[in-house]
Structure 1
Amino acid sequence: MEPRTLRVLEFEKICRILADHAQTDMGRTLALELLPSSDEEEVRSWCRETDEAQAWDRLAGGVSLQGATDVTEWVRRAARGGVLSSEQLYATAELMRVGRWVQRSLEQVQSKARTPQLQALADGIPELPELEKAIRDSVGEDGSILDGASSELAALRRRKRTLADRIRGALDELIRNPNTQKYLQEPLVTVRDGRYCVPVRVEFKNSFRGIVHDQSASGQTWFIEPAAIVPLGNELRGLEAQEEREIERILIRLSALVGQEEAGLSKAVECLGRLDFALAKSRLAQQMDAVSPHFVGGGKLRLRRCRHPLIPKERVVPVDVLIGDEYHALIITGPNTGGKTVVLKTAGLLTCMAQAGLFIPAAEGSELSVFERIFADIGDEQSIEQSLSTFSGHMKHIIEILDQVNERSLVLLDEIGAGTDPAEGAALAEAILQFLVDRGIRTIATTHYGDLKAFAYTTPGVMNASVEFDSETLRPTYRLLIGVPGRSNALAVAARLGLGQEILDRARHRLGADDVRVEDMIRQLETARNQAREEADRARLDREEASRLRQQWESEVRRWEAEADQRTAQAEERARRIVLQAEREVKEVLEELRRLSREDRSSLKEHQFTELRQRLDRVKPAFRYGRRVPSSNGEDFGTPGPGDAVEVVSFGQKGTVLEIQGKEALVQIGALKTRVPVAALRKQKAPTPAAPVSVAVRRGADGVGMELDLRGKTVEEAIPEIDQYLDRAVLAGLATVHLIHGKGTGALRSGVQTYLRSHPHVRSFRNGGPGEGGLGVTVVELK
């Protein structure tokens, strides 16, 4: 892509905005170095990457790569034997943490969206659990070296604390001694140059035995280390020196481990940078309300309702730019400040953005071709150093363009032929455009020359267009009208501003007959176009109203159908209950008759009972198959679902629903699994919930907490509580819970997370993020 083209189209401003959306230095670097590609397959791949990032960011509820640092230089230095600081080591561990989180996050969205390109990048991030553990066991979040980094360091720090306590104890006795207090400016202990001192008044500095380490700004106080604790202070400084040597040894050991993984860590930096760059592209698209470009062949450019991305949304006027079908060149005419150059820059900049894998601010259905090269001659390109005029500067550039263009080029020419004699300029512009059209090169040009309007009408492959001007308000509307040449508004504007009629008549008389006819034709075309636009607007409003009424009608129909179904079901239920009541009453009568018959056999016969029973069966209503089956006790507990206890009416057996597929359900009856129609199931009353688990959790609305507090417990004490809590959380339908174990030494966190890796209810887990408790909390996603 031509650097000059990118400069005049202000592509670097888009790159800077893109960089603002990156979360890492690696992503920002890629954004600032972004260039369009002329390889169609590469461009399509870049756009798919942006689309995948948009889906990932949306489904994950926002993706954060905070903590991913470019450690490439540090790792390279470590590989060559250099020693990294504790802060650099911790940043390396954070890079590995972010890499693991990215891999889990992408795995979680795979069921809802395919992200093969991003997944390939995530798969390229190596897992280095041993290195990460070694660093985290030794380096704290603040970059301090932890006591557990080595047994020698832990022992040295214990001796230091003991010795410091002895020194403070001795000094406390000293400053409380009445014989000593008279020498002190204040009864306190301070530290100067790493030595414990007391503030001695200047007049007693020779009476107080010890070593002077500092003096106050006023000179009235001397900070003296008492002679009695000097040996202890020397011993303490010796321990501090040993501690520093041990820390240096630990840093050397950890740096060597980092250096051994140079290739893997460098790969992780590269992949995370690419992922961050993809996310930045998706967030730029969201900011600009942009859509994914659709690429077609044949040099076509169909930008519908496209907007210049650097003009504020509230001010920009969307336009349609179409070339490549019936015509290859578009000649745009119109007044100054009417928006011709903006249209030119919009078409060029959006094409560059699309070929850089960025979404474009345009309407759905916009189509673009991938051009091999894009040339633009826009603005005042005169060269002061070469003493070239504006016209000469433009012509020099246009000559360079004409020497390099081919059928896969897009050429953008602003005010072609301007800056010289109008007649010669128009002729030259027409010849240049004819050269481009003859070679089928896609061209968009702006001009003031009226002769080029006729050229567009008479030349196949060329189309007129204009930026609209409202002669009533004397203001441009910034709308692009394709197929309509711009007409001169000079006389109309002059008339509205009050120029005399005599002067206007003379001006019109001086216009050629052809000019007058062209102006009349343009005026008629504009009138017809405005009428067509008004009719289109009315038709659009009518369609929208019809669509609204149709939706309202369909909603009403659905509501009526639902009410009808409900009333039918209620009526059938009432009828069923009436029949059941009647059946009970008839049975009672029949039993009474049987009893009487047994007492007097001659009065009633058995066939009479049979006839009565058959009549009773005929009285029962025939329910439609598929209605909800009421419970045996007359209560309706709703439609059964997975996990519900049910009675299989056809078997007379009770079981549990395992799954439902369409109109069939898989039911567990004892050791037997069988498929039966859902309509043949009668849902049973839900069991009474078990007593709540006695753990320290914050209760939610369903009685099961979103958190389990394990602080202060050992791993052995915590695991049974976790197991019981996760069972209740799954039964309560919770998707995510928080296990609070605190930071401490990390032993409880490590034990909890080791247990979670094999727990059947756990889909995934991670350390808490910002605002979630950080390393003191493990966030668990349940199956």
Structure 2
Amino acid sequence: MNQKVLKTLEYNKIITQLTGYAASTPGKLLCQNLLPMSDYHEIVQAQTETSDALTRVRMKGSLSLSGVRDIRDSLKRLEIGSALGIPELLSISSLLTVAARAKAYGQHEESEEFPDDSLDSMFRSLEPVTSVNNEIKRCILSEEEISDNASPGLHKVRRSMHGINDRIHTQLNSILNSCRSYLQDAVITMRDGRYCLPVKAEYKSQVNGMVHDQSSTGSTLFIEPMAVIQLNNELRTLEIQEQKEIEAVLADLSGQLMPYTEELAIDLQILTRLDFIFAKAALSRHFKCSEPKFNTEGRIHIKDGRHPLLDPQKVVPITVWLGTDFDLLMVTGPNTGGKTVSLKTVGLFTLMGQAGLHIPAFEGSELAVFEEVFADIGDEQSIEQSLSTFSAHMTNIVHILNQADSHSLCLFDELCSGTDPTEGAALAIAILNFLHNMKCRTMATTHYSELKIYALSTPGVENACCEFDVATLRPTYRLLIGIPGKSNAFAISKKLGLPDYIIDDAKTHLESEDETFEDVISRLEENRVTIEKERAEIESYKAEIARLKSGLEKKEERFDERKDKMIRKANEEAQQILREAKETADRTIKNINKLAASSGIDTKALEAERTKLRDSLKKVEGGLSLKQETKKPHKAINPKSLKLGDGVRVLSMNLNGTVSSLPDAQGNVFVQMGILRSKVNINDLELLQENSVSGPGLESRRKGSGSSNIKMSKSFGISPEINVLGMTVDEAVAQLDKYLDDAYIAHLPQVRIVHGKGTGALRAGIHKHLKRLKYIKEFHLGGFGEGDAGVTIVVFK
């Protein structure tokens, strides 16, 4: 990938952010050297590693790799048998500690729901060399200190040194106390590694010893008293022995590491790679990225892509596709509308994806593998080379045309601008036509109307625009594919206060073709906005219909469950009554048999009666079942003769009702049975005869007008009872009004309102409403066996 495009598309800024997430120096170096790849399999492998690392971070938390050190020089010294110094051994120990931590992080239980991924083999290949690492930690406390227990010889030497030090300080404290008047300060100092006293120059002869130093003024001499010279000599000898013991300890530790140089090299390589991979995962998590799918057919489909270098609170996601129905996309629109950002987003996402980085876009976005990405974006003017803006851009375009092929992605910002518009537009069309014929994937921004027409009239070329709100004079930054953009120069100028007569004069200088084209674009934009609003309304209606349908289906299911439950309960109660009757009869007959036997009466007749009674009970019991048998209608109904409002009996439910819809192709109709409306097959219905319906005054009106027939038909479907349990007062009154009207029209003498006892608020609200109805003669609470205070009986006039 050429270096120029990396700078133009600001890929290096992404790499800088990636480097900040690496914890080790080798990992940071690997991040800094990351470049886009062009091999499909390598790209997919890199993307998979990033995704697997991100999955582990989400499931197990972050992995700290901050202790990884570059130990390659130390490994070379070990290979030739050299002993390592304290800092080198500590670096190796730090590396091994991180390796142990990473290996534990990579392990998971067999029962744990954690998929095998591309990182498993790396974690398994780590070798912490725990025994040697523990020995290094035991012997070396810091870069300046070796433990006293590192070796028996070192322990013995340091114990002797402590003894000599104590003796020296005892002697010096004694001299200090006896010769305090000779001393400049009452302290013990070190000079050339030996203990001395600061003696005043004039008292030099009073302190017998060796002079090691003097102050800058010459007033103080640092004298080593003769009494401690021998002790200092012994201490110096012990220090030399101590250094030899330390060197022996370091040589021993180095010798223990020599067999593991290959394992150490592998650990360094794997941990550096893991640091690099987890840095990519951290970057993906920061930008809320997703793994793109890759193809080698040149297809790009970015869903809600957000440029990673823009403010995440303000950036507007764009959706763009290329390479399916068209391979050249022409983006138009006003300045500062987001055209350049759209170009850079597509180019930067391609570079990031081919480098193994996730992209900040919606899940399922697709990118193509390109061998080269070319971009001509920004001001290319060069004062040093005496090139104008147009010349500089053209120099870059010539280079692109010489290098680009069908495996390239080309991005042009304001193609052939900076020169005569007519010549620039013609030149731009020729350049784009050349790239289009080469099947090169191309995106270009422009203000030229000729290029918009070229995109409309050329197969495989598509228009796009960055939306602009003329009412607010602000771009929306939305990219709309399939619609050419409008410059909006006149609208913007008018909004900013340019007089109408100047704008009108400017319109007269427009070519008629240009004006017509701009009008077409305006109408397209208006139609698009209208269609989007209508589409949103349709989606809202569809969602509401789906919600209502779901609610009705649930209500129907609850009704069916309730109906089956009631039938089962009734059959179970009937069977229980029969069982109790049978037991009572058996018990009574046995008692009679006993009495008859004790009285000497012949019991054969009684036993025969008992057998007959038992047989009768069995027949009745056998006739009951938890599932009622469906009765057959006495006379089949002709679907063509069935009319709306006909009175029918639903045989399976043993309820009367009225037909509220005509039969469909399967013979199903809707029947209204009181407050219940159910879908029933015509084979489960039986027509009701008029003379089978009874009610007050019905005989006198049987030969009446059509309205009487309507009333009789109405009565077929009215239940003598309404249930308003669980409703509010307002809901109950609304249901009650319609029910009472229907019941009154149907000439029912009285009806029952089931409202329950509860707090009494519902009952009080219903009674208050009933007092206002003039066609009600009276109402009262139900008596014993009628529901008591939970039911109100209403009598009509």
| Aligned-partner residue type, residue 327 of structure 2 | H
Residue 164 of structure 2 corresponds to 163
Aligned pair in 2 of structure 1 residues 252, 552: CA closer, same or farther (>3 Å)?
A: farther
2:99–2:271 Cα contact (<8 Å) kept: yes
Q: Percent identity of the aligned residues? A: 43
Report the CA distance between 1:511 and its aligned residue: 0.9
Residue 350 of structure 1 corresponds to 349
> In structure 2, how many angstroms separate the alpha carbons of the residues matched to 1:138 and 1:167?
29
Residue 304 of structure 1 corresponds to 303
Aligned pair in 2 of structure 1 residues 137, 392: CA closer, same or farther (>3 Å)?
A: same
2:106–2:124 Cα contact (<8 Å) kept: no
| Aligned-partner residue type, residue 493 of structure 1 | I
Residue 406 of structure 1 corresponds to 405
Report the CA distance between 1:200 and its aligned residue: 2.6
Aligned pair in 2 of structure 1 residues 175, 554: CA closer, same or farther (>3 Å)?
A: farther
Partner SS for 1:108: coil
| Aligned-partner residue type, residue 174 of structure 1 | I
1:90–1:140 Cα contact (<8 Å) kept: no
> In structure 2, how many angstroms separate the alpha carbons of the residues matched to 1:187 and 1:398?
84
Residue 239 of structure 1 corresponds to 238
1:52–1:115 Cα contact (<8 Å) kept: no
> In structure 1, how many angstroms separate the alpha carbons of the residues matched to 2:38 and 2:216?
70
> In structure 2, how many angstroms separate the alpha carbons of the residues matched to 1:33 and 1:216?
56
Aligned pair in 2 of structure 1 residues 61, 149: CA closer, same or farther (>3 Å)?
A: same
Partner SS for 1:364: coil
| Aligned-partner residue type, residue 80 of structure 2 | R
Report the CA distance between 1:408 and its aligned residue: 2.2
Aligned pair in 2 of structure 1 residues 541, 313: CA closer, same or farther (>3 Å)?
A: farther
Residue 78 of structure 2 corresponds to 78
Aligned pair in 2 of structure 1 residues 353, 543: CA closer, same or farther (>3 Å)?
A: farther
Residue 506 of structure 2 corresponds to 507
Partner SS for 1:117: coil
Aligned pair in 2 of structure 1 residues 550, 99: CA closer, same or farther (>3 Å)?
A: farther
Deviates more, 1:47-56 or 1:133-142: 133-142
Residue 225 of structure 1 corresponds to 224
Residue 336 of structure 1 corresponds to 335
> In structure 1, how many angstroms separate the alpha carbons of the residues matched to 2:537 and 2:215?
87
Whether 1:138 and 2:133 are equivalent positions in the alignment is no
> In structure 1, how many angstroms separate the alpha carbons of the residues matched to 2:373 and 2:551?
50
> In structure 2, how many angstroms separate the alpha carbons of the residues matched to 1:321 and 1:164?
80
| Aligned-partner residue type, residue 7 of structure 1 | K
Deviates more, 1:166-175 or 1:320-329: 166-175
Report the CA distance between 1:115 and its aligned residue: 4.4
In the alignment, structure 1 segments of 5+ residues that lack a partner are: 565-783
Partner SS for 1:140: strand
Q: Please give the residue correspondences for 1:668-683 in structure 2 after superposition, counting only pairs within 5 Å.
A: none
Aligned pair in 2 of structure 1 residues 83, 534: CA closer, same or farther (>3 Å)?
A: farther
Residue 117 of structure 1 corresponds to 118
> In structure 2, how many angstroms separate the alpha carbons of the residues matched to 1:203 and 1:283?
72
Residue 30 of structure 1 corresponds to 30
Report the CA distance between 1:128 and its aligned residue: 2.4
Residue 456 of structure 1 corresponds to 455
2:51–2:291 Cα contact (<8 Å) kept: yes
| Aligned-partner residue type, residue 99 of structure 2 | G
Report the CA distance between 1:65 and its aligned residue: 1.3
Report the CA distance between 1:349 and its aligned residue: 0.2
> Over residues 167-220 of structure 1, what are the superposed CA-to-partner deviations in whole Å (9 max), with x where a residue is unaligned?
1122223333xx322223443333333222233334323321222334456655
Aligned pair in 2 of structure 1 residues 251, 51: CA closer, same or farther (>3 Å)?
A: same
Residue 150 of structure 2 corresponds to 149
> In structure 2, how many angstroms separate the alpha carbons of the residues matched to 1:336 and 1:168?
85
Q: TM-score if structure 2 supplies the norm length?
A: 0.66
Whether 1:53 and 2:53 are equivalent positions in the alignment is yes
2:9–2:347 Cα contact (<8 Å) kept: yes
Report the CA distance between 1:512 and its aligned residue: 1.4
| Aligned-partner residue type, residue 387 of structure 1 | S
> Over residues 340-367 of structure 1, what are the superposed CA-to-partner deviations in whole Å (9 max), with x where a residue is unaligned?
1111011000111011111101112211
| Aligned-partner residue type, residue 27 of structure 2 | G
2:40–2:296 Cα contact (<8 Å) kept: no
Report the CA distance between 1:538 and its aligned residue: 5.7
| Aligned-partner residue type, residue 141 of structure 2 | G
> Over residues 716-740 of structure 1, what are the superposed CA-to-partner deviations in whole Å (9 max), with x where a residue is unaligned?
xxxxxxxxxxxxxxxxxxxxxxxxx
Report the CA distance between 1:224 and its aligned residue: 2.5
> Over residues 565-620 of structure 1, what are the superposed CA-to-partner deviations in whole Å (9 max), with x where a residue is unaligned?
xxxxxxxxxxxxxxxxxxxxxxxxxxxxxxxxxxxxxxxxxxxxxxxxxxxxxxxx
> In structure 2, how many angstroms separate the alpha carbons of the residues matched to 1:34 and 1:47?
13
> Over residues 650-700 of structure 1, what are the superposed CA-to-partner deviations in whole Å (9 max), with x where a residue is unaligned?
xxxxxxxxxxxxxxxxxxxxxxxxxxxxxxxxxxxxxxxxxxxxxxxxxxx
2:288–2:360 Cα contact (<8 Å) kept: yes
> In structure 2, how many angstroms separate the alpha carbons of the residues matched to 1:554 and 1:129?
66
> In structure 2, how many angstroms separate the alpha carbons of the residues matched to 1:228 and 1:221?
20
1:80–1:259 Cα contact (<8 Å) kept: no
Report the CA distance between 1:259 and its aligned residue: 4.7
In the alignment, structure 2 segments of 5+ residues that lack a partner are: 563-797
Residue 291 of structure 2 corresponds to 292
Report how many aligned residue pairs link the two structures.
557
| Aligned-partner residue type, residue 261 of structure 1 | Y
Aligned pair in 2 of structure 1 residues 186, 255: CA closer, same or farther (>3 Å)?
A: same
| Aligned-partner residue type, residue 365 of structure 1 | G
Residue 488 of structure 2 corresponds to 489
1:302–1:321 Cα contact (<8 Å) kept: yes
Report the CA distance between 1:144 and its aligned residue: 2.1
> In structure 1, how many angstroms separate the alpha carbons of the residues matched to 2:203 and 2:551?
97
Deviates more, 1:26-35 or 1:407-416: 407-416
1:469–1:475 Cα contact (<8 Å) kept: yes
Q: TM-score if structure 1 supplies the norm length?
A: 0.67
> In structure 2, how many angstroms separate the alpha carbons of the residues matched to 1:204 and 1:542?
110
> In structure 2, how many angstroms separate the alpha carbons of the residues matched to 1:60 and 1:274?
19
Q: Please give the residue correspondences for 1:313-712 in structure 2 after superposition, counting only pairs within 5 Å.
A: 313-535=312-534
